[in-house]
Amino acid sequence: MDRITRKTLKDDRFAAEVTHSVEYLAEHRRQTLIYGGAAVVVAALALGIFFYRQNRKNAVHMALFRALETYHAAVSPEDVPGRITFRTEAEKNTQARKEFESVVSGFSRTDEAGIARYYQGLIYYQEDNVAEAQKRLEQLVAEGPGSVPSLARLTLAEIYTTQGKDEEARKMYEYLIKNPTDLVSESRAQLAMARFLGRRKPEEARKLLLDLEKRPGAVAAAAGTMLREMSQQ
Amino acid at 63: A
Q: What share of the chain is helix, strand, coil (3-state, %, to 5)?
A: 75, 5, 25
pLDDT score, position 43 = 53
pLDDT score, position 169 = 97
Question: CB–CB of 191/177 below 8 Å?
Answer: no
Q: How far is Cα of residue 68 from the mean position of the Cα atoms in its chain?
A: 12
pLDDT in 10s for each residue of the chain, 233 residues? 333 333 333 333 333 333 343 333 334 433 443 334 444 544 554 555 455 445 445 788 889 999 999 999 999 999 888 888 999 999 999 999 999 999 999 998 888 899 999 999 999 999 999 999 999 999 999 998 888 999 999 999 999 999 999 999 999 999 999 999 988 999 999 999 999 999 899 999 999 999 999 998 899 999 999 999 998 87
pLDDT score, position 182 = 87
Its CATH class, for the domain covering 7-183, is mainly alpha
**For residue range 41-94, what is the model confidence (pLDDT) as tens digits?**
445 545 554 554 454 457 888 899 999 999 999 999 998 888 889 999 999 999
- The answer, as to whether pTM is greater than 0.75, is no
Which residue pairs, CB below 8 angstroms and at least 24 apart, start in 83-89?
89/126
- Which residues does 183 contact at the CB level (< 8 Å), separation at least 6? 43, 46, 47, 50, 147, 148, 150, 151
